[in-house]
Chains A and B, each alone.
Chain A
Amino acid sequence: MNLELNDEQRMIVQTMREFAQGEIAPRAREMDERAFIPPEIVAQMKELGLFGAQIPEAYGGLGLDTVTYAAIIEEISRACAGIAILLSVHCSVAAYPLSVFGSEEQRRRFLPRLAAGEIGAFCLSEPGSGSDAASLKTTARRNGDDYVVNGTKVFVSSGSLASLYLLMARTDPGARPLHHGISAFLVERSTPGLSLGRKEEKMGLRADDTMEVILEDCRVPAASRLGEEGTGFKIAMKSLDSGRIGVGAQAVGIAAAALDEAIAYAKVRTQFGHPLVHFDGIQATLAMMGTRLTAARVMVRHAAWLKDQGGPYTREAAMAKLFASEMSTWVTHQALQIHGGYGYMKEYPVERYYRDARVTEIYEGTSEMQRRVIARSLLRD
């Protein structure tokens, strides 16, 4: 048993840390305020091969294991959570399901493009179906060699940056239970009938855009259906299992940045004649922050390691995501509190960490859904 990264993993993560701290972190505030991702940063990420992190080398990717991948997401999140979600969505819920469920032809057609940095996005949520994803209303009606897709997807991360959408739509309205009637499709951005709707104004994670994606008589070739008809829900759930590791790692990264800031601030801020770190209460808070952060990191790496071993990891990924996201919200809250009034000011990054952390309890399955996944697996055993 050995819970440390090996030399090769450490080297890769170190490179990504230098990139994240050197290139991304200095612009994180600007990205948050202007709600955009500078194209030159995306270009650098492409050069580093980040968009092909887990894509097999045969398809142009780096073929990294999930442990390394999670550590990279953590490092990027430490610098900018918005860029991290761009990468995490692309890798975990676009490239990954394509690698696993795609036909050889589909893999050859799409994976090299994704590896080269064409961005992938995931379209599941709709105005009327969030956690209850199986009730989605977007339809895909077979018509010759195509499907005709109609509906509206919401909360699509990287919606305007993406070239390829993994989209869930109902192919069999009569199927019961409902989730048996859903299929997955790979939809090109350029497909006629696909348009972008409103761009959401968000509390945090503002660098990456969150879009409405509208489908009006959008013809998608049957060759772009991922997996068999009726397996879309399963593909979505498997994607989210993998995505939860990414979001867990993201939550850990945001919290790590917040803890670093809190310690640095508590060392220099003097009140009552002493630096804040001198006070028991502040020390106790820092200790709890570090402890919960460490626990979350081990949980995320454990889930990642299980995935790499090819074993079942659904429960562990749900636990890691649940724990890490709640930890991150709590740790960023405490970091802000330690900063006092300054923590509320944009001049210090902790208010951004606090805003960024919050969504990790919501997307890729709310905490409530994680509890449900965990409880069901416990009660079944």
Chain B
Amino acid sequence: MDFALSEVQRMVQETARDFADQELVPIAEQVDETREAPMEKVKKLGELGFLGMLVPEEHGGSGLDDVCYVLAMEEISRGCASTGVIMDVNNSLVCEPLRMFANDEQKRRVLVPLARGERLGAFCLTEADAGSDAGNLKTRAVADGDDYVLTGTKLFVTNGGFANTFIVFASTEPEKKARGITAFIVEEDRPGVKRGTREKTLGIRGSTTYEIIFDECRVPKANVLGEPGRGFKIAMEALDSGRIGIAAQAVGIARAAFGRALEHAKTRKQFGTPIGEFQAIQWKLADMATQIEAAHLLTIRAAVLRDTGGDYVTASAMAKLFASRTAVEVSDSAIQVHGGYGYIRDYHVERHYRDAKITELYEGTSEIQRLIIARRLIRG
């Protein structure tokens, strides 16, 4: 048993920490206010190698492990949760399925620019009637000569506003339900790809959540990712891995909120003494820190299991379930520690609170995580 970080892991953590403090913390409020994605910072993330962390160097990535990814995601999300999810989607939901399922030609053509951050990706799974029940999707892909023709509307596409490459899940054999789903690589400039409405979201407002419409969009068969009919499995594996990223994002948001609460408790005086002297506040801080520690360790555990080839599915669901709840509860407590100031935008914790909530919803709701965990516990 060894909880120590390697030299490389420590270096990645420090790099991410410095980047978060210097580049992200100062702009996070503005990103939230203006709903503008921080594209200049995203470009820098690419230069740091943070957009293709798990991709081997030969395919344009950094060739790092999941523990590095978790450490970086925590720090980047602590700085700015919108930037955190932009990074998560590109790494976990776009580069990872390409790394695992793309053929060599696709890796050279599609993965390399995504891993380098020269292009950005998005993941198109959810539809109006297919959320948790992802196997029930209605987008169709009909074979026609050397192409497939895609028709359907995808919802809640994170990074939808600026993504250049979409991983799209569509049904090629509707009667087979989940087993008839195929994954496609779809470039944004293909005729028939349209951006629909941009959602107004509670939090992570800089990440641009879009409806993406495929209107008789022709995609060459060479853009099928994996085998036809394997799409659902590809989506689920991407999400298994993505949960580790979201868990890390949640821990990062919780750390941001906690840091502000601790600072406020030290400096805010009432009844002639800093409020951190009061037991009611001390206990709250202790509970917040304890929960963050638990969430962090669960997340690291999932990452280590994935790195070492262990069964990480239950572990990543546990990490995401626990860490997302932690983010919500800790940011809620951080507002409470701030009193009325916590409700005021200038004090940031209300943003952390709004940002935190999404982590219980996307890449599998908490209800779905519980289902995954329970099924595996019961199976034994």
> A residues bordering B, Cβ < 8 Å?
1-6, 9, 67, 259, 263, 266-267, 277, 280, 282-284, 286-288, 290-292, 294-296, 298-299, 301-302, 305-306, 309, 316, 319, 322-323, 368, 370-372, 374-376, 378-379
Partner of A263, one of B5, B321, B377: B377
Measured CB to CB, the closest approach of chain B to A281, in angstroms, equals 10
The distance in angstroms between the C-alpha atoms of A372 and B314, with both chains bound, is: 33
Measured CB to CB, the closest approach of chain B to A374, in angstroms, equals 4
Interface string of B314-342 (1 = CB under 8 A from A): 11001001100000000000000000000
The distance in angstroms between the C-alpha atoms of A2 and B3, with both chains bound, is: 6
- How many residues of chain B are within 8 Å of chain A by beta carbon? 48
Interchain CB contact under 8 A, A379 and B1: no
Tell me the B1-37 residues at the A interface (CB within 8 Å): 1-6, 9
A71 nearest CB neighbor, chain B only: B1
Interchain CB contact under 8 A, B301 and A3: yes
Interchain CB contact under 8 A, B282 and A1: no
B258 nearest CB neighbor, chain A only: A378
Partner of A286, one of B67, B276, B307, B377: B377
* Residue B262 at the chain A interface, CB threshold 8 Å: yes
Q: List 20 A-B contacts (CB under 8 A).
A: A1-B307, A2-B1, A2-B308, A266-B378, A282-B374, A284-B367, A284-B370, A286-B377, A288-B321, A290-B377, A294-B298, A295-B297, A298-B298, A301-B1, A305-B3, A319-B294, A323-B291, A372-B279, A379-B265, A379-B282
Partner of B294, one of A1, A2, A299: A299
Interchain CB contact under 8 A, B2 and A1: yes
Tell me the B343-380 residues at the A interface (CB within 8 Å): 367, 369-375, 377-378, 380
Interchain CB contact under 8 A, A2 and B373: no
Tell me the B281-321 residues at the A interface (CB within 8 Å): 282-283, 285-287, 289-291, 293-295, 297-298, 300-301, 304-305, 307-308, 314-315, 318, 321
The distance in angstroms between the C-alpha atoms of A286 and B290, with both chains bound, is: 22
Interface string of B213-233 (1 = CB under 8 A from A): 000000000000000000000
The distance in angstroms between the C-alpha atoms of A211 and B91, with both chains bound, is: 59
Measured CB to CB, the closest approach of chain A to B256, in angstroms, equals 15
Sample of 6 more A-B contacts, CB < 8 Å, known A6-B1, A263-B377, A375-B283: A1-B2, A2-B1, A263-B380, A287-B369, A291-B318, A375-B285
Of B294, B300, B304, B314, most buried by chain A (CB within 10 Å of CB) is B294
* Residue B41 at the chain A interface, CB threshold 8 Å: no
Q: Which 6 pairs from chain A and chain B are nearest by CB?
A: A283-B374, A375-B282, A287-B373, A287-B370, A371-B286, A374-B286
The distance in angstroms between the C-alpha atoms of A292 and B298, with both chains bound, is: 10
Q: Which residues of B contact A282 (CB under 8 A)?
A: 374
B367 nearest CB neighbor, chain A only: A284
B291 nearest CB neighbor, chain A only: A323
Q: Which residues of B contact A277 (CB under 8 A)?
A: 374, 378
Measured CB to CB, the closest approach of chain B to A169, in angstroms, equals 29
B295 nearest CB neighbor, chain A only: A295
A292 nearest CB neighbor, chain B only: B322
Partner of B276, one of A9, A288, A323, A379: A379
Measured CB to CB, the closest approach of chain B to A251, in angstroms, equals 13
Interchain CB contact under 8 A, A323 and B294: yes
Interchain CB contact under 8 A, B297 and A378: no
Q: Which residues of B contact A322 (CB under 8 A)?
A: 286, 290
Interchain CB contact under 8 A, A67 and B1: yes
Interchain CB contact under 8 A, A3 and B3: yes
Interchain CB contact under 8 A, B283 and A368: yes
Interchain CB contact under 8 A, B377 and A305: no
B6 nearest CB neighbor, chain A only: A1
Q: Which residues of B contact A316 (CB under 8 A)?
A: 293
The distance in angstroms between the C-alpha atoms of A263 and B9, with both chains bound, is: 38
Measured CB to CB, the closest approach of chain B to A237, in angstroms, equals 17
Interchain CB contact under 8 A, B370 and A288: yes
Partner of B375, one of A283, A292, A301: A283
Interchain CB contact under 8 A, A4 and B378: no
A259 nearest CB neighbor, chain B only: B377
* Residue B109 at the chain A interface, CB threshold 8 Å: no
A372 nearest CB neighbor, chain B only: B282
Q: Which residues of A contact B298 (CB under 8 A)?
A: 291, 294-295, 298
The distance in angstroms between the C-alpha atoms of A1 and B3, with both chains bound, is: 5
Partner of A290, one of B285, B286, B373: B373
Measured CB to CB, the closest approach of chain B to A103, in angstroms, equals 32
Of B1, B6, B308, B372, most buried by chain A (CB within 10 Å of CB) is B1
The distance in angstroms between the C-alpha atoms of A372 and B367, with both chains bound, is: 34
Interchain CB contact under 8 A, A299 and B318: no
Interchain CB contact under 8 A, B371 and A1: no
Q: Which residues of A contact B374 (CB under 8 A)?
A: 277, 282-284, 286-287, 290
Q: Which residues of B contact A302 (CB under 8 A)?
A: 3, 297
Of A266, A282, A291, A379, most buried by chain B (CB within 10 Å of CB) is A291
* Residue B266 at the chain A interface, CB threshold 8 Å: yes
The distance in angstroms between the C-alpha atoms of A83 and B240, with both chains bound, is: 40
Measured CB to CB, the closest approach of chain A to B12, in angstroms, equals 13
Interchain CB contact under 8 A, B67 and A319: no
Of B6, B300, B370, most buried by chain A (CB within 10 Å of CB) is B370
Measured CB to CB, the closest approach of chain B to A381, in angstroms, equals 9
The distance in angstroms between the C-alpha atoms of A1 and B308, with both chains bound, is: 10
Q: Which residues of A contact B380 (CB under 8 A)?
A: 263
**Given A2-B308, A302-B297, A379-B276: A374 touches B370 (CB 8 Å cut-off):** no
Q: Which residues of A contact B297 (CB under 8 A)?
A: 295, 298-299, 302
The distance in angstroms between the C-alpha atoms of A316 and B296, with both chains bound, is: 13
Partner of B282, one of A2, A9, A371: A371
B305 nearest CB neighbor, chain A only: A3
Tell me the B101-154 residues at the A interface (CB within 8 Å): none
The distance in angstroms between the C-alpha atoms of A374 and B282, with both chains bound, is: 9
Q: Which residues of A contact B67 (CB under 8 A)?
A: 1
Interchain CB contact under 8 A, A374 and B9: no
Measured CB to CB, the closest approach of chain B to A308, in angstroms, equals 9
The distance in angstroms between the C-alpha atoms of A274 and B380, with both chains bound, is: 19
Q: Which residues of A contact B308 (CB under 8 A)?
A: 2
Q: Which residues of A contact B378 (CB under 8 A)?
A: 263, 266-267, 277, 283, 286
Q: Which residues of B contact A266 (CB under 8 A)?
A: 378
B1 nearest CB neighbor, chain A only: A67
Q: Which residues of A contact B262 (CB under 8 A)?
A: 378-379
Q: Which residues of A contact B369 (CB under 8 A)?
A: 287
Interchain CB contact under 8 A, B304 and A2: yes
The distance in angstroms between the C-alpha atoms of A316 and B6, with both chains bound, is: 21
The distance in angstroms between the C-alpha atoms of A302 and B293, with both chains bound, is: 10
A371 nearest CB neighbor, chain B only: B286
